[in-house]
Structure 1
Amino acid sequence: MSASIDIKDKSLILAIETSCDETSVAVVKDGCEVLSSVIASQIETHKAFGGVVPEVASRKHVEVITLSIEEAVQQAGVDLQDLSAVAVTQGPGLVGALLVGVVAAKSLAFALDKPLIGTHHIAGHIYANRIVGPLEYPCMALVVSGGHTELVHLEEEGRFQLIGRTRDDAVGEAYDKVARALGFPYPGGPHVDKLALGAEETVDLPRSWLAPDSYDFSFSGLKSAVLNAVNQHKMKGQEVPVAAIAKGFQDSVTEVLVEKAVRAVKEYSSKQLLLCGGVAANQGLRQRLTSRCEEEGIPLTIPPHVYCTDNAAMIGAAAHLKWKHGLTSELDLKADPQLKLEEW
């Protein structure tokens, strides 16, 4: 699976991320200094469909991947021969989208005779926090995105233990589905977040805690409760209290996420809590988690918004872990949409 290389303290990694609907290329120095970060978003393209269409996403990646690589290198002001390695998201993600990045990375690594480093998408989200500052181990990561809602314990650098995950919709999916029910376009999360923060009233909605000792999550019942609230007002001929429902939904989601994360930090004696993933840009969640961690004296790290959503800088940061341990991937690397974090 991997081959040895000389271990170096310093690295200059060109990273590629194409797991979903952002084509991103970055050049990262020593796993924490971003020299360039290029992100070509497809949001406007997928708005017409109300969500990401995998085949469309793949074609868009093909259209811009070469230009994105050229732009990232130019912005970084480096020579391609100065690169230590080429990193790429191997999985998880949409298989067609992943393939575009993997093929581009393998081609570039082969042409430059540079090592190739296959990288896990969620490891990237977690180590986006390394761009902010050093991580203290053991630490706990709350991963929240369109496809993932997970609690990950890091006993030491690069060693991941998944202790909780969603049993149905990921939190980002739930936000988009609720936004659609409330009449907002894709992506709906920012609309719900903005509306909830400005709401003066709230519609109380259920919290799904599952078993008392469980770190898993479930949002399908909450989503159904939102639909019921909307339909009840419509059937009575009443105006739907959109803002109040948005606030009730966001309050329910953030309370469960925050309280389970805080409980996990305490149980696993974590020195630090990391917030990761696209939904980490949600202001309601950031505010509630920040306030709760201050109450409990828990050190909290949250990446800047630009490193919360899918980006290649986070892939470069995670790839640096493998570089430090002298591990690279072979040129027969395959995209793996089901790649497991613990085995990475």
Structure 2
Amino acid sequence: MLCLGIESSCDETALALVRDGVLLDAVLASQVDVHALFGGVVPELASREHYRFMGVLFDTLMQRTGCRPADLDVVAVSRGPGLLGSLLVGVAFAKGLVLGTGARLLGINHLHAHLLAAGLEEALPFPALGLLVSGGHTHLYRMEGPARFVTLGRTLDDAAGEAFDKAGKLMGLAYPAGRLMDALACAGDDRAVPFPRPYVRNATLDFSFSGLKTAASAYLDSLPPSARWPRPVTTAQGASRVLCDCCASYTRAIVDTLMIKVERTLERQPDLKTLILAGGVAANSHLRARAREVMRRHGGRAIMPAPAYCTDNAVMVAYAGWLLAREGWRHDLSLEAIPRGRPIPDDMRRDGVPHVAA
């Protein structure tokens, strides 16, 4: 079964082909340089760039793999959450391919695809605990299977990735700040600055990182002129000790907060022996190491995609589409793009039977 994956939920235009669970090839056009001028993603520019690159990337992928549009069995597309204009470009392109080829259409929940991507390199045992940590979302799921995710906790305001991004901007780190902050943190003392562990003195599995951003802003404002560093910061080489300590302490505060909620979940649901970690923040080396450590202590293991598959990509969409198509799921042409802030509907069908939400 040959499945094409299309990803255009934010600022990466990407396509990939997966045949019977094995990646054939993938192509991607990044918009980082475009949005770096503004210090963040500009939605209108993002959708225009998707429109400009989508057809070219599709032709390139077909040529590189020797496949033809008629060979496609499934077209899987990120249908949300994300930027509406960006999503519409991908969904419209997918529907056009389905109309022209007769392939099966599948709208993929972008968040679920991140977690399922770990299965590309290692078999996913179900049930599992899924921790999705990205720029816009921080979710805990009980994963019963590729089509069954039970939400256990979510961010109430700012996600962990948002906390990293905004703090990086305040520190003067070059956009995008995540990778550079990770490198700076490796050279710092993670106990130097007493940042709080937000929203942990409760019984819930939800997250809230807005207060941590405020704490970072207050700390940076409190630094005397002698402790400040030149901006922008574009490399970890030669960075000031104060900056490295700040990055290390801030990173540890986020990682500690995430792992507190993970351990709380494991204590309440002892049948979960596997943690699947995914999303852009899952590329952070400190988080990856702590996830493995926590699961070892609980007699389980942590599975996570390679760092290249943690950020938005079409490989995860193609693989998720293949998994769902293998179970017989599909969408019709009434498929809608769902922007961030709206729940993704459970509107897949299998042999005329609607999907039943968990």
Same fold (TM over 0.5): yes
Q: Does 1:175 align with 2:152?
A: no
Distance in 2 between the 1:304 and 1:280 partners?
9
Q: Does 1:343 align with 2:333?
A: no
Distance in 2 between the 1:60 and 1:54 partners?
10
Distance in 2 between the 1:341 and 1:293 partners?
30
> Which letter does structure 2 place at the counterpart of 1:328?
R
Alignment of 1:194-233 (within 5 A): 194-200=183-189, 202-233=192-223
Aligned to 2:67: 78
Q: Does 1:29 align with 2:30?
A: no
Maintained 8 Å contact 1:137/1:271: no
Give me the identity figure in percent: 39
Alignment of 1:223-302 (within 5 A): 223-233=213-223, 236-240=224-228, 241-268=242-269, 269-302=271-304
| Count of residue pairs brought into register by the alignment | 331
Alignment of 1:67-216 (within 5 A): 67-200=56-189, 202-216=192-206
Maintained 8 Å contact 1:160/1:341: no
Query: Could you say what secondary structure the match of 1:208 adopts?
Result: coil
Distance in 1 between the 2:267 and 2:67 partners?
44
Q: Which 10-residue stretch deviates more, 266-275 or 72-81?
A: 72-81
Query: Could you say what secondary structure the match of 2:172 adopts?
Result: coil
Distance in 2 between the 1:222 and 1:279 partners?
16
- Per the TM alignment, residue 319 of structure 1 is displaced from its structure 2 partner at its CA by 1.4
> Which letter does structure 1 place at the counterpart of 2:118?
N
> Which letter does structure 2 place at the counterpart of 1:324?
R
Distance in 2 between the 1:156 and 1:247 partners?
36
Query: Could you say what secondary structure the match of 2:276 adopts?
Result: strand
> Which letter does structure 2 place at the counterpart of 1:62?
Y
CA deviation profile, 1:253-296 (whole Å, cap 9, x unmatched): 00111221133134222131100111111111111212222232
Supply the RMSD in Å over aligned alpha carbons.
1.6
- Per the TM alignment, residue 211 of structure 1 is displaced from its structure 2 partner at its CA by 4.3
- Per the TM alignment, residue 341 of structure 1 is displaced from its structure 2 partner at its CA by 5.1
Q: Which 10-residue stretch deviates more, 295-304 or 57-66?
A: 295-304
Maintained 8 Å contact 2:26/2:61: yes
Maintained 8 Å contact 1:73/1:80: yes
Maintained 8 Å contact 2:80/2:344: no
Distance in 1 between the 2:106 and 2:23 partners?
18
Maintained 8 Å contact 1:85/1:115: yes
Structure 2 alignment gaps of length 5 or more: 229-241, 348-358
Q: Which has the higher contact order (CA 8 A, sep 6+)?
A: 1
Q: Which 10-residue stretch deviates more, 80-89 or 289-298?
A: 289-298
Alignment of 1:33-52 (within 5 A): 33-52=22-41
- Per the TM alignment, residue 227 of structure 1 is displaced from its structure 2 partner at its CA by 0.9
Distance in 1 between the 2:345 and 2:152 partners?
11
Maintained 8 Å contact 1:35/1:75: no
- Per the TM alignment, residue 48 of structure 1 is displaced from its structure 2 partner at its CA by 0.5
> Which letter does structure 2 place at the counterpart of 1:343?
D
Query: Could you say what secondary structure the match of 1:69 adopts?
Result: helix
Q: Which 10-residue stretch deviates more, 279-288 or 207-216?
A: 207-216
Query: Could you say what secondary structure the match of 2:106 adopts?
Result: strand
> Which letter does structure 2 place at the counterpart of 1:303?
P
> Which letter does structure 2 place at the counterpart of 1:149?
T
Alignment of 1:56-71 (within 5 A): 56-71=45-60
- Return the match for 1:331 from 327, 330, 333: 333
Query: Could you say what secondary structure the match of 1:238 adopts?
Result: helix
Query: Could you say what secondary structure the match of 1:135 adopts?
Result: coil
TM-score, normalised to structure 2's length? 0.88
Maintained 8 Å contact 1:86/1:108: yes
Distance in 2 between the 1:140 and 1:200 partners?
30
The 3 A distance-change label for structure 1 pair 265 and 37 is farther
Query: Could you say what secondary structure the match of 2:149 adopts?
Result: strand
Alignment of 1:11-22 (within 5 A): 11-22=1-12
- Per the TM alignment, residue 109 of structure 1 is displaced from its structure 2 partner at its CA by 1.2
> Which letter does structure 2 place at the counterpart of 1:254?
V
